[in-house]
Structure 1
Amino acid sequence: MITIQDINKPEPIKVDEQLKTFQKGDAVAGTIESLRQGEFILIQTFYSDGISLLAELHKDLKLKLPNSSFKDQQAYRAEYHKLSNLVVLEIVDQKLSPKKSPNIGWLSEFYPDNEHFLLTFPQVQGLNSAWQWHEKGVSLPVLRNKLKPYYGTYFPTRFEHLVLFDNFLKHYKGQKKTVIDVGVGCGVLSMQMVNHQFQKVFATDINPNAIFGLREYMGNTKLSRKIELDCAHLFGKWIKQTELIVFNPPWLPETRELERIDEAIFYDKTLFENFFAEAKKRLLPEGQLVVIFSNLAQITNVTAAHPIETELMNGNRFQLERYFKKPVKPASSKTKRDQHWRALEEVELWVLKHI
């Protein structure tokens, strides 16, 4: 059983020496140079000082780095990640020390016995955003109730693939006794299947935050009796054959060492080969394998390879039964990133069966 001690959370930083500080009005160039030298910068007076410094860091990087192509954006984000995570905040008695800081419930939940430590400013921003999403809930067009995503669990902010899957479920003619949801995440696909009268969903995820958070969200409701969870890679302990397997994998190949949350966004070289090999064993002879994907990697020139097409051509395990796609809505005019490629993006739903 996954407990609060098992979940992934930011690692407290212990720094004994006196740190340089920053507050709005200080010389920015010298502070950014200190970050480039690998020095920590402490935000001590107001929480907004940290926001101001990170805004100045963005301005500095935009002058020094190209930011036009998708790969340029990845390089930009990597450099920003490295430097911004040297900006730190002090936590005392499970509360942020600077004035006018947000109240983040995760701090007392995750660090009940740690009374004095540092976290990076981006980590605190992530904790704060996750806490707001968790408390307010997220409305999805395919679910009646609001989702309450747990910290460190990927949840959808775009919904085309969910609508595509819901349309598939509306027209699904197979048995609805059992289904395996590989990589359950925030649980939306499993909940969709319960809403479409599947009797039992066996769900896995390698991320303990996803399992812990979903179990907490379901409580003792009907969902907890319909959805059974296992914290494990791919199929975990579910070895019995089933009539339907659903997989919504990451849509981009890894290009660098992954952090835990990135595992929901980027896939490694062996993921699909291992998945299809295991799925072959667990799918009933007349069963269906559903993979939700996107052409994102191809249209952004990250790779020309498409893992599902590769499996169908070379795997000698499955054949295509049906294929559906849906265009993605244009990026919001408010976004600061150049996402012109979104006009070409399509989400995909592949229905495979045994050869």
Structure 2
Amino acid sequence: MTDMTVHKPTPFLPQEELEVYHREADLLATIKGLEAGHLVLITDFYHSGSVLLKEVQRHLNTTLPKKTFKEQRDYRAAYHTLSNRIMIEIKAHQLAVKKAPAIGWFEKLYPQTSDFLLTFPQVQGLNSAWQWYENGISIPVLRNKIHPYYGVYFPTRFEHVALFDQWLKRYSGAKKTAIDVGVGSGILALQLVKYGFQKVFGTDTNPNAIIGLKESMGETKLSRKIELDVGSLFGKWSKPTELIVFNPPWLPETRESEYLDEAIYYDKALFPAFFKAAKDILLPDGKLVLIFSNLAQISGLIKTNPIEEELAQSGRFQLERCYKKNVKRASEKTKRDAHWRKTEEVELWVLTHA
């Protein structure tokens, strides 16, 4: 299908004998082994891995304080280190423990390697991703479900795609081409096709996004309407277009975002580079649409958002209109600071050449 290299957990082959963990094993001794740098292999039931992870959390809760920001970061780092020393074996593309889920990614992502080890958190992530991929996710603004590929960001809230859908309904400009920067799971590109755009060019720095979308489109009409490229910002697309759509990350990068998805966190160079490139590729009467949020502002991470800074400082673009939509209240189960939701809004910024 493609010669792109898919991003996936690196398979592990042990160079030394691993400690084993099963239901009857001494939990405290196992955790002490993890702290000493030993790798521990789950050998009986899949659930034993979950039990051991909970015990690691309980152990850290009693040994590490979590009051200050630094203490919380140290706690997360310690948990990340210990949990990723818990291993599980894959044999013939199946988990080699009892009552384990069937995870199709093993065969799909590792066709040349049938026997290997992964960390238990990696396998948990693969399992969750396989359920989303197999079952699909219903998106309110699309007729068909999306089936996100492993390692590709997809939204769990949909106010921003609903806001974009409302804007597209009223859009009366030319619909020859559009560029979706950071196409991800393809929702915005599919919306553009839904509203009659003849050709949509999508880019993403994550090869899994491109691989997954190409696979899901196959040889259908969509594959002729949506053209994809792995690359930052506009990738290989240089021909001027009448519409550019960008749903960038909503939070600025911080020291603790080292291991986190660049679909969620942006570095300080992203927006200046994007606006500079967008000016050269947007047709004179074209529109630049950015889907953003006030989350970073209301949580105190930034004072003014990067779109406002661009409009105030560069002279490249002017504001046509900014649409806003309130975000629904957080679930009672969420661990995020739900009080932010009272004032959280998603934003759709429409810019034109200054």
Residue 309 of structure 2 aligns with which residue?
Answer: 310
Residue 182 of structure 1 aligns with which residue?
Answer: 181
Contact 2:46–2:98, Cα closer than 8 Å, also in 1: yes
Contact 1:88–1:120, Cα closer than 8 Å, also in 2: yes
Distance in 1 (CA, whole Å) between partners of 2:180 and 2:16 is 48
- Alignment-mate amino acid for residue 353 of structure 2: H
CA drift at 1:91: 1.1
Contact 1:148–1:217, Cα closer than 8 Å, also in 2: yes
Distance in 2 (CA, whole Å) between partners of 1:249 and 1:225 is 25
Residue 213 of structure 2 aligns with which residue?
Answer: 214
- Alignment-mate amino acid for residue 228 of structure 2: L
The number of aligned residues is: 353
Residue 104 of structure 1 aligns with which residue?
Answer: 103
Residue 247 of structure 2 aligns with which residue?
Answer: 248
Percent identity of paired positions between Structure 1 and Structure 2:
59
Residue 126 of structure 2 aligns with which residue?
Answer: 127
TM-score by length of 1: 0.93
Q: After the TM superposition, which of the residue ranges 254-263 and 41-50 deviates more from structure 2?
A: 254-263
Q: After the TM superposition, which of the residue ranges 123-132 and 294-303 deviates more from structure 2?
A: 294-303
Distance in 2 (CA, whole Å) between partners of 1:73 and 1:345 is 25
CA drift at 1:295: 1.5
Structure 1 residues 24 and 306, CA, compared in 2 at 3 Å: closer, same or farther? farther
CA drift at 1:11: 0.3
Contact 2:250–2:296, Cα closer than 8 Å, also in 1: yes
Residue 144 of structure 2 aligns with which residue?
Answer: 145
Residue 42 of structure 2 aligns with which residue?
Answer: 43
CA drift at 1:330: 1.8
Distance in 1 (CA, whole Å) between partners of 2:266 and 2:344 is 18
3-state DSSP class of the match of 1:6?
Answer: coil
Q: Do residues 33 (structure 1) and 17 (structure 2) align?
A: no
Distance in 2 (CA, whole Å) between partners of 1:11 and 1:175 is 46
CA drift at 1:268: 1.5
Residue 300 of structure 1 aligns with which residue?
Answer: 299
CA drift at 1:76: 5.0
Residue 58 of structure 1 aligns with which residue?
Answer: 57
CA drift at 1:38: 3.0
CA drift at 1:79: 3.9
For residues 235-260 of structure 1, the C-alpha deviation after alignment (integer angstroms, 9 at most, x for no partner) is 01111111110000111122248678
Distance in 1 (CA, whole Å) between partners of 2:179 and 2:168 is 14
Q: Do residues 84 (structure 1) and 75 (structure 2) align?
A: no
Distance in 1 (CA, whole Å) between partners of 2:173 and 2:67 is 47
CA drift at 1:328: 1.4
Residue 322 of structure 1 aligns with which residue?
Answer: 321
- Alignment-mate amino acid for residue 55 of structure 1: K
CA drift at 1:298: 1.9
Structure 1 residues 95 and 192, CA, compared in 2 at 3 Å: closer, same or farther? same
3-state DSSP class of the match of 1:99?
Answer: coil
Contact 2:165–2:191, Cα closer than 8 Å, also in 1: yes
3-state DSSP class of the match of 1:133?
Answer: helix
CA drift at 1:180: 0.5
Structure 1 residues 335 and 24, CA, compared in 2 at 3 Å: closer, same or farther? farther
Distance in 2 (CA, whole Å) between partners of 1:184 and 1:267 is 15
Q: Do residues 267 (structure 1) and 266 (structure 2) align?
A: yes
Structure 1 residues 74 and 227, CA, compared in 2 at 3 Å: closer, same or farther? farther
Q: Which runs of 5+ in 1 are unaligned?
A: none
3-state DSSP class of the match of 2:261?
Answer: helix
Q: After the TM superposition, which of the residue ranges 237-246 and 80-89 deviates more from structure 2?
A: 80-89
Contact 2:107–2:114, Cα closer than 8 Å, also in 1: no
For residues 245-282 of structure 1, the C-alpha deviation after alignment (integer angstroms, 9 at most, x for no partner) is 00001111222486787111111221111100000000
CA drift at 1:107: 0.4
Residue 200 of structure 2 aligns with which residue?
Answer: 201
Structure 1 residues 334 and 306, CA, compared in 2 at 3 Å: closer, same or farther? same
TM-score by length of 2: 0.93
Contact 1:2–1:211, Cα closer than 8 Å, also in 2: no
Distance in 2 (CA, whole Å) between partners of 1:74 and 1:195 is 44
